[in-house]
Structures are given as C-alpha cells and as structure tokens.
Amino acid sequence: MKDGYCRNINYMRLSVTDLCNLRCNYCSPEKTQFRENTSLSGDELFEICEKAVSLGIDKIRITGGEPLLRHDIIDICRRISSLSSLRQLAITTNGCLLSRYARDLKLSGVNRLNISLDTLNAEKFREITRNGDISDVLEGIKCAQIENFDDIKVNVVLIGGVNIDEISDFVELTRDNNITVRFIELMPLGECAMWDKNKFVSCDIVLDKVKNLKRISFDGVSEVYKIDGYKGRVGLIRPLSNKFCDKCNKIRVTSDGKIKTCLHSSDEYNLRGLHGDELSEAIKNAILNKPLEHSLTTSCFSKTSRYMNQIGG
C-alpha cells in the first residue's frame, strides 16, 4: 500500500500490551495506575493482522509494554505467522522472560528477535530499569542464541552521562557473536522530554569512539557497520541526527487498537470494533493520511501524549 507521499507501507508494529515488568526511566512512568485491561484480545489482534497483511503488510513486529507478559503470546505468534503472505514476524522484548520463551517463540514462527539492553553493568541496569535484574536478560540472550533465529539484535538507547562509556564494550560483543548491536538516539518523549539536553547524544559518538567500524550497508532505517574479522554487526539509528522519514514504511497499532502512522504525531485512527470492509477502510484511510515527516528535535518534543510503553517503540 502506498501512502499519500508514495511511500510503500509494508511494516506494522503491533503492541500487544502496555504493561511492562521493567520501568525504564526514559520509557515508562515510575508508577502505572491500576486499571482495567484494555489490550486487544488474541482474536482482535489476529483480525487486524489478517486484514493488514491482505492490504500489503508483509512484516509484523510484536512489541509492548513487554509482549512476553501476555499469557497467550505464543498462540498470538503462531496465528500471525500462519498468514501466508507474511514474510517476517519479529518481536521486541526486554529479554527478562526470554529464557522461558525463546524456544516456543521460534517454534511459533517468530524469525527475528530484538532485545533491549542499555547497559552491561548490573547496578546501572537496576537504576535505568528501576529495579530490573540484568542476569535475567543475559540468560535470555544466551537461550535465544541457541534457537537459531534468522537475526538477533541488541538495541541500546544512547543516554548521555549514562552509557556512553560502554559503547566499546557493546561493540566488542560483536567480535564472537553473530548478533547486531544497534545504537539508537534517545527521543524526547514522555518523562525524558524534560531531561537535560546533554542526555541526547548523536550516534556520531559511536563512530568517534570506535574508529575501525566500516559501513557495509543500510537495513531499513539503520546504518550497518562492521569491524573486519568480527562475526556480528553494529547498527546506528538516528531519528534526530539524520531524520529518516522519507524511508519510513511503517504503521503502529497500539494495544488499545489505535493506528499511529507516525510515532511523534498525536493523530490516531481507531480499529477496535471494526470488521470486514470497515476495518480495511480504516487501515487504508490511516495510511493515506500518514504525515510526511515528524518535527522532533532535542528541543521540539514529540506531539504524542503517550509514553513509549503505550506505543511500543
């Protein structure tokens, strides 16, 4: 499907819950209010995926909140991966429950896995995540590596004064592991929008610190680098220092059933309760109205009122 600017939209990020077992300080509020579960059911999620795939979506990424908190996550993945025109089913997780789920995710048809990990230091991890245990994530990554996913990526959000000193250590992980470590620029949305400017660091700092990285390709919105002789790769994602809206091929569906056609826009299009042609029309209409670009800079905040855990990254 083409949007109003002739971009081919073939990628959907599907949030299956906004609940999370971590409280990363740049992503979610410290306390979430108890409320009724507003997440789409397994049937609703499948219906949206089926329709989106029939309209040309061929890559779906399941996200959250933390998707592995859903008790029916394996069933959700199995049903979505059965859609014959779907080329890729991926999941983004904080990795805490991955040692329990890695095998079943692979068996259910998930072929790509992104694991978020912003530090290799246990104490810092506890601070960033507001009490998470890094050993759960490291164990999860080990289990995932055994399962032969097509691709495993470790996503690191760069935070000035917090993890810049660990860039080389993260790159070193690619020496013996066939994984991609991707550095992502922190975006000013939610609580971190109020943070000091020096926390927002350009991905250029990775190239400054690791001189022997060689650019080998582009993978969607990520610049891909490698060090000669290393098994893995390094990716840079620059939503601020090199806006990539002209290459944007995605839509997002929130766990309460709204399409967001731009992460940073306040526009949302309801899908919940729609079926058949009405559902198709709502998806097509949202895609046609996808904005040309976001207006985000380190001093111009995101226009969305949602926290990232309510969108899915």
Strand partners, 33: none
Please give the helix or strand (H or E) that residue 63 lies within, else none.
strand 59-63
Check binding of 9 to ligand SAM (CB under 6 A): no
Q: Tell which positions 94-153 bind ligand SAM, by CB under 6 A.
A: 94, 116
Residue 245 binds ligand SAM, judged by CB under 6 A: no
Q: Does 192 bind ligand SAM (CB under 6 A)?
A: yes
Angle at 213 between CA 210 and CA 218, to 5 degrees: 130
Which residues does 92 contact at the CB level (< 8 Å), separation at least 6?
61, 62, 63, 64, 67, 114, 115, 116, 155, 312, 313
Tokens standing for residue 39: 């997440």
- ∠ CA 13-14-17 to the nearest 5 degrees? 135
Rounded to an integer, what distance in angstroms lies between the CA atom of residue 248 and that of residue 251?
9
| Binder among 14, 16, 83, 189 for ligand SAM (CB under 6 A) | 189
> Which residues, numbered 157-176, are part of the site for ligand SAM (CB under 6 A)?
157
Give residues 255-284 in contact with ligand SAM (rule: CB under 6 A): none
One of 10, 11, 51, 66 touching ligand SAM (CB under 6 A): 66
Contact call for residue 18 and ligand SAM (CB under 6 A) = no
Closest distance to ligand SAM from the beta carbon of 229 (Å): 28
To ligand SAM, the closest distance from the beta carbon of 297 in angstroms equals 14
Asked if 92 is part of the footprint of ligand SAM (rule: CB under 6 A), the reply reads yes
Selected binder of ligand SAM within 12, 20, 97, 181 (CB under 6 A): 20
